Structure 1
Amino acid sequence: MKLLATGQTDSSGLVTFEELPPLESYRESRIALAGEADGDYRGLAYSHYSYELYPNGVGIDTDFLYQTGQPLVYLYSDRPVYRPGQPVAFKGIMRIDNDMAYELPGPGSIVATVRYFGQDISRQVLRLSATGSFTGSLTLPADALPGTYTLFVRPMGSAATIGNLAFSVAAYQKPTFSVTLHNEQPDRLQGDTGTVTVQADYYAGGSLNLAEVTWHLDASEQPFLPPEPYRDYSFWTGEGRPGYWRWRWRGRYVYPTMLAFGSAVTNEQGQAILDIPIRLEQFNADQQLTLQVNVTDFAGRTVTSRTIFRAHQSEIYPGVRPESYVASVASPVGIDLVTLDMAGQPLPEQALRVELFRVERHSVRTFDEFGRAYWETTSEEVLVGELTGVQTDDQGVTSTDYSFAEAGLHLIRVTGQDQYGNSAVAENYVWVVAGDYVSWGMRNNFAMDLIPNQTEFVPGETAQILIASPFPGEHYALVTVERGQVRHSEVIQVAGSDTVYELPLTAALAPNVYVSVVVFKAAGDAAGADMAIGWTELAVAPAQFELQIELAADRPVAGPGETVTYEIQVLDQTGNGVAADVSLALVDLAVVSLVEPNSAPIFEFFYRPRRLAVQTGSLLTNNLDQLYEELGEVAKGGGGGPSGQGVVDVREDFRDTAAWRGFVTTDANGRATVTVTLPHNLTTWRLDVRAATLNQFG
């Protein structure tokens, strides 16, 4: 055991320790002792004494080994798959990550190593640019074995890997033709028949006729996902917690069910028309239907393409959104309603049934067969009101209001019916407070609800968070705003079960931040000391950090060996040009179509939602009497030998990557010009441009 720090509590009993050494493994722990100056210790907290204090139970992912101030590297290559003997080009963009407050790294070098099954294939030292990026290349050995190769990068002088990128090596044969699926109406009602047009065309031009087409259709459960303007409405039923529907499918894998299969042949135009049956009789929920189509040419080469149907149980989707998730007794609560069609577009003039319920939770202290005490909570819905004559307008929206007479959890249930009699139900919740104690129900894991007034925010807004404490009376609570570290902390007094905490949201909290509240109930009654903890995740829009890239070529079609000039402009969210670090890759589309990308989009990499890295521990969880129970394979292909015909104007410059420019800098107006001489391939080329400033990416 080693003393790490000492400190003095402030007037609220709060003490903060700065710059503690980071945890190096999950086995390490922190112990805090509190007491008088004479050494009489009266309090103890232990980070590993966190029994039941896990945010995962409310859908919050954690990463307790995250450290601030560490390098974060985004790696990408000109393409994801190569043949033996071909060149590989790559780039890295490095930032120092202080809980998403990005800084440029200082001058230095990066060691880049490519390995295959533990064997070093290449190692090079690359200098970091003034913009925090580096670029490199290598040529694969002519006898390189097929498989997955990995690029590892580390700072010069350090053994710690700070980034890696996998790419494939395969004796692949580029497809000579493409397969496009035209699915004009992907949203279908149960019992419909979907029509898909298969189009097979050679990359060099012309249609592929009389080719064999086979297909199969798989189903997997998928809830209705509304378009962006309606993301803060609920279109579902379920758990009474705002934002629940945002994370309940996260990370969930649903095994698909095969529904149908068939075959066809392409006509003289390279087309085949497929009739796809949409049958949901065996399901009680909406499904995502994945249609996989395989087209095989005369040489036995197969190209696969996929399209999606969204199969619906009803043509109508009602959505409901309270003006605020927290309301006061006898005060009108605005209720926004919307009706959407299967494609997520407004469905006008739809009659809706709106019912309002009080959800009564009854908690009883009981004992299991071993004599251990636990809470048993049941819920009962009591109808308290119904709104009649509700109909959406010609824009598919309407608003109404309702005044709840009693405090407690209330449910709004909205039902719509399509022309065939198929019903769809949406639910949302309102926590109604009255300035005194409300029983929200007791739990067995020290948990309580934190209810934000909305689920998504933009910088500049203020989040209002209801602290649904299970304890009557006044108690102290520790409030922390967290993500990669504790960003703010304070001790407040919680009065009853309906205290509302306000948190101003800034751009620094994008794309997400967590609020944790621990309420402490002092000893002094028969129940003794107790505690309750709640977490909530707030989504804060990071749009201001996304760059927009505009591209223009001086010609849409060019011949082998000709030059093409590209104009690039990088804009911020206000439409102003910005000086940016840019890279460009011009790659044969036939090669790109072989495998999935081997790197995430750059903006998503730097501004994806972060996991919670702050751990909470308390001995109260152990001192209480109760202990509670509770790249796919890449197909090889032949290379094809010489034709033996005479040599006339031989085209010999054949490359899968026409151009790679690792360092391109736009001017102060965000503009840059790049000229490329095309190789001799007869194909379609795809241009991939990525840009970065200090903290903006696109």
Structure 2
Amino acid sequence: MNRAFRALGRRNVLIAVLGVVVIGAGSGVGIYLQSRAHHSLPQSATRNLNAAPTAVPVGVTTVAEPKQAVTLTVVSTKPGNGSAAIPLESGITLAFNLAVNPATVKSFLSIQATNSPAPTVAGAVAQGKAPTEVVFKPSAKFDFGTSVNVTVRGGLTSLDGAGLSNDYSFTFTTIADPRSVLFMAGYGEARLVNGQSGRPLTLTIQKGDAVPPGIAIKTYQASAKDLLAGLVYSTNGYANNPIDTSSMRLVDNGGTSLTASGARTTTIANGVSVTVSQPDGIYLVVAADASSQYGAVWLDFSRYALLLRQDDQRVVVAGEDLNSGATTPSFKITFYNLLNGVHAKVSGSFSGTAEFPALFPSGFDFAVATSGGQEIVVPVSAPETNAVIRVAANLSQQPQIFLTTDRPAYQKGEVVKFAGVVRMSNDQAYALKGGAKLALWTQLTDSNLALATVAADGTFTGTFTIPAAAFTTDGSDAWLTIYAGAATNDRFNPNQLTTSTQIVALAAHAPTSTLTVALDKPSYIAGEPVVASITGLNATGQPLAGATVGLSIYSTQHTVQPVQMDSFPGRTTWGDPVVENIKVLLDAAGHATYPVTAKVGLKAADREITVMVSYGTGKAKAVAARTAIFYQAADEVFLLPARTSYAQGDVVVAPFVVEGRSGARVANLAMAYELDRTDYEGDTAITTVVSSGTVSTNGDGMGTIRTPYTGSSASLTLRIKGKDTSGNVFEDAKDITVGWLINLLDVASDKIAYKVGDSAHLTVTSPAAFNVLLSLERGRVHQYKWLSLVKGANAVTMDITPDLAPGFTMVLSYVREGSYTSELFPVSVNNSARLLKLTVTPDQPSYTKGQTAHLAIAVADSADAPAQATLFADGYDARMSAYRLVDQASLAAAFLTPNPLGTNASSSLLGIGTFGGACGGGGNQQAADATYAGHTTVWVTSLATDQTGHATISVPITQSGAIQVVVLAGTATSAWGQAEMGLNVP
């Protein structure tokens, strides 16, 4: 999945990070294709429909089951966002609109707590009272006065494949230490709060039960030297010792006022607001009496703003005078580390923008700049920083990894063979380097499964015995996720490069019958008749005459994207059941048919539907399954990248494109859109249309929705719908928020995707004239400069240089109305020149037991020239995963999908007190995808083609039954390809 698109809240336009698409020709040739990728752009087609979609009137309300939702949403949390005085032993409950797997949620869950030396809170995730609910139970109770930040990262999917569009975060605070006073900024405890000149800062008090009466608020004017000394920390965090105020000047409290319920007060109590309005400078606000300090917070007011971006090699800073708007002031700047003392690391001066060396680990906790007699403090990676901290390693030493195993499933005691490909990432510039040490692990234990050393050709191999703990006690199959990363990495840090693959831990299987299920096509369009054909044989090969089989239908969303974008379709699991255990009677010949069509219309989304049949119970149970794609219509609409956070009264702007199944643009097509608000009441979802209208595509199949929303703050779903020539409705949807996390800028690009050498022309529409720091980033900051925006449209041109492939994020950072904002816009870059063409040709159309299949491999580059490559080949019993449309994860996706944004971000308008980073881990889960045990027929881990790009692989045929063969290819210049095919063995 394209992570940048995920962050922008869209559903339909997704790039799967795993998998390939294969065509099996009549001759048995296996061909690797990219699905709808990099054709010459088709001509637009104009559709004349008898009935265009009708916009739903505003105010119309519908009631449905939440499981019909096409996007995953957090419905409620306990504790709620902003809750205070939460008990120390509190657990955390998350309720979703769709069923989720707790182990999957854990992989996307980050829980961080102040006053804790650990970067994340340890604990377990379990199923709640319903399939839609999960509960996190911390391993140890929280400390007093702890601000707890909970983040569920975007990309989490429900059991049926619906994705969480954006990160979802909330914060709560535990009860205060009985003898302490906490200063709260927003929803968390504050140690440092920065503010713009002339703008008062308001904090809220939380008071411990044992704080004596008669304490008072005192305000001191201080310096950066005082502040740094007061924020020195150890490996256990901040000491919370009394702050030495002897060098500070006590100021008149006229600039500091206390209010309760809107009225002035002098009493310090829970919920009392403290408002500080002082001239520019650094201040310390203390709650104290004559004998003790009970709490304190640092404040810094300045007319100047600093923006900071940092990667594993350098730190970029930009300075601005907020009063005049000038980006020309001169600054002196020093970066400090505060572990066990105040340590100056790097100093310099700049005007406008500048960069300073910051080789990881830089140890930069704070930056302090001076200009015009003022001191400006920027938090970087100090404990509890509000900065976003993503840099976790030196990227020139971080391996980018592809991992695979020799078959999809294993029984207890069996040995798993693994292999893979490694390149040193260097922010996806990629270098071939042997000798790196890798570790493989699961979440079942802290111990490694295996260690491996990367060979000179960039490959690695090894084995391990599947862990006994992977198997369930109830006799069901279970997914086991295998992770791989650098042996020295922190396995729980999601900002370090890791990879994973899934296998199935199989319960004991000894079926006494054989089932098959067939569908007549691999894909369907809504309205087409779909009938599943079922056949059953007993242990002697005779028909299961008159037997009753169970039939279940599973659904998961099928991801597609515009034709201009890279496509790496991948294997999927069955998803969530639509219907379960329907009884189907076989006739005297052991055959039956079952109409599927009526069972697959619950969701307005393209889906993969799996029909599964079973017979028998326990170990003797036989299963068979078949998967097909069910498209909404012959056309697709894709909501393109755009902002997803708005202020009340803003116009929601959403560009889109409409394409036919072949990728041809659909011109002049009438579309309908609506903004929906969904309220959840128990098992019911109540959806109300709050805005709607119609819009048409232009001559190039493109269009833009512009719809105002003047209602209250809300989380909304934007939907756009169209009809194909048969009248089938197709739609796309994305989530937007109004009233919080507000972005201001609308960005539009002249292309959906670019290639290296292009000039990208973008338009940034701004509500007012102000300055933004433009930076092009991925794992590193590649380009940066100040932009002076005018009100309205602003043209921005950038060259797509090789270092920006395979894609990047355009970051727009700014300070506006006293707040710092960093807006992200993903830019896709096509990588077709790094895709290999791989064919696998068997020497016979079919084989019998005892023969050897000889497979001719041919590898060519994107220009059809022979390519020397290193090959992997894997063959195993096809019935282990015969239901799948695609069997193997995509090698190209592992290296050509842009990595997530991996830079640090901060500004002088951020503070210290809660967190900006995130991390987490995951484990195994029950597998609905019943598979059979099997064996590996061929496992070739490092085979080089000759100079003509050819090689031969021999596959011994040791038993009857089809064999699935997967071949992967990679070159020293990091070009990739693969193919899948089945060998016919009657």
Q: Which residue in the other structure is 2:936 paired with?
A: 657
Aligned-residue offset at 1:486: 0.6
Cα distance, 1:121–1:42 mapped onto 2, change above 3 Å: closer
Cα distance, 1:99–1:3 mapped onto 2, change above 3 Å: same
- Is this contact kept in 2: 1:589–1:683, CA < 8 A? yes
Q: What whole-Å deviation, never above 9, does each CA across 1:263-320 have from its counterpart, x for those lacking one?
A: 3234566542212352799x694574845331327995321414356475xx675869
Give secondary structure in 2 for the equivalent of 1:658: strand
- Is this contact kept in 1: 2:555–2:609, CA < 8 A? yes
Provide the C-alpha distance between the structure 1 equivalents of 2:673 and 2:445, rounded to a whole number of angstroms: 63
1:98 is aligned, of 420, 426, 435, to 426
Matched, 1:495 2:814: no
- Is this contact kept in 1: 2:521–2:628, CA < 8 A? no
Provide the C-alpha distance between the structure 2 equivalents of 1:500 and 1:213, rounded to a whole number of angstroms: 64
The one-letter amino acid of 1:576's match is A
1:459 is aligned, of 720, 738, 756, to 756
- Is this contact kept in 1: 2:368–2:378, CA < 8 A? yes
- Is this contact kept in 1: 2:762–2:795, CA < 8 A? yes
Q: Greater CA deviation, 127-136 or 197-206?
A: 197-206
Cα distance, 1:181–1:52 mapped onto 2, change above 3 Å: farther
- Is this contact kept in 2: 1:542–1:607, CA < 8 A? yes
1:46 is aligned, of 379, 386, 392, to 379
- Is this contact kept in 2: 1:462–1:503, CA < 8 A? yes
Cα distance, 1:144–1:278 mapped onto 2, change above 3 Å: closer
Give secondary structure in 1 for the equivalent of 2:623: strand
Cα distance, 1:570–1:210 mapped onto 2, change above 3 Å: farther
Equivalent runs, 1:626-665 vs 2, <5 Å? 632-633=926-927, 656-665=935-944
Structure 2 runs not aligned, ≥5 long: 1-337, 473-478, 492-497, 568-572, 644-654, 676-689, 710-718, 913-924, 978-986
Q: Which residue in the other structure is 2:865 paired with?
A: 576
Q: Which residue in the other structure is 2:46 paired with?
A: none
Cα distance, 1:178–1:586 mapped onto 2, change above 3 Å: farther
The one-letter amino acid of 1:130's match is A
Q: Which TM-score applies when normalising by structure 1?
A: 0.64
Higher RCO (C-alpha under 8 Å, 6+ residues apart): 2
Cα distance, 1:531–1:131 mapped onto 2, change above 3 Å: same
Matched, 1:5 2:346: yes
Q: Greater CA deviation, 283-292 or 484-493?
A: 283-292
Residue identity over aligned pairs, in percent, reads 18
The one-letter amino acid of 1:275's match is P
Matched, 1:514 2:809: yes
Give secondary structure in 2 for the equivalent of 1:606: helix
Provide the C-alpha distance between the structure 2 equivalents of 1:262 and 1:403, rounded to a whole number of angstroms: 45
Aligned-residue offset at 1:514: 0.4
Matched, 1:683 2:973: no
Cα distance, 1:80–1:455 mapped onto 2, change above 3 Å: same
Matched, 1:697 2:697: no
Root-mean-square deviation (Å): 5.6
Q: Which residue in the other structure is 1:17 paired with?
A: 356
Q: Which residue in the other structure is 1:329 paired with?
A: none
1:603 is aligned, of 892, 895, 898, to 892
- Is this contact kept in 1: 2:938–2:955, CA < 8 A? yes
Matched, 1:213 2:533: no
Provide the C-alpha distance between the structure 2 equivalents of 1:50 and 1:86, rounded to a whole number of angstroms: 45
Length, aligned pairs only: 565
Matched, 1:198 2:534: yes
Equivalent runs, 1:351-390 vs 2, <5 Å? 353=670
- Is this contact kept in 2: 1:321–1:337, CA < 8 A? yes
Q: Which residue in the other structure is 2:831 paired with?
A: 542
Give secondary structure in 2 for the equivalent of 1:544: helix
The one-letter amino acid of 2:859's match is V
Q: Which residue in the other structure is 1:129 paired with?
A: 455
Q: What whole-Å deviation, never above 9, does each CA across 1:556-608 have from its counterpart, x for those lacking one?
A: 32232222211112222222221111121221223455999997322222222
Aligned-residue offset at 1:178: 5.4
Aligned-residue offset at 1:98: 0.9
Matched, 1:484 2:779: yes
Q: Which residue in the other structure is 2:321 paired with?
A: none
- Is this contact kept in 1: 2:626–2:882, CA < 8 A? no
Q: What whole-Å deviation, never above 9, does each CA across 1:105-126 have from its counterpart, x for those lacking one?
A: 24x36476788954979867x5
Give secondary structure in 2 for the equivalent of 1:611: coil
Q: Greater CA deviation, 143-152 or 65-74?
A: 143-152
Q: Which residue in the other structure is 2:210 paired with?
A: none
Cα distance, 1:419–1:578 mapped onto 2, change above 3 Å: closer
Give secondary structure in 1 for the equivalent of 2:357: coil
Q: What whole-Å deviation, never above 9, does each CA across 1:301-341 have from its counterpart, x for those lacking one?
A: 321414356475xx67586999x99xxxxxxxxx998685x
The one-letter amino acid of 1:302's match is A
Aligned-residue offset at 1:663: 1.8
Provide the C-alpha distance between the structure 2 equivalents of 1:170 and 1:231, rounded to a whole number of angstroms: 37
Aligned-residue offset at 1:211: 4.8
Give secondary structure in 2 for the equivalent of 1:577: coil
Q: Which TM-score applies when normalising by structure 2?
A: 0.47
Give secondary structure in 2 for the equivalent of 1:278: helix
Equivalent runs, 1:315-330 vs 2, <5 Å? none
The one-letter amino acid of 2:402's match is Y
Equivalent runs, 1:101-500 vs 2, <5 Å? 101-106=429-434, 108=435, 110=437, 118=445, 128-137=454-463, 146=471, 167-168=503-504, 170=506, 172-173=508-509, 177=514, 179-184=516-521, 187=524, 189=526, 194-199=530-535, 211-217=547-553, 228-229=562-563, 258=578, 262-267=582-587, 271-278=591-598, 285=604, 288=607, 290-296=609-615, 300-308=620-628, 310=630, 312=632, 340=660, 353=670, 445=742, 447-472=744-769, 475-500=770-795
- Is this contact kept in 2: 1:316–1:347, CA < 8 A? no
Cα distance, 1:159–1:414 mapped onto 2, change above 3 Å: closer
Cα distance, 1:671–1:185 mapped onto 2, change above 3 Å: closer
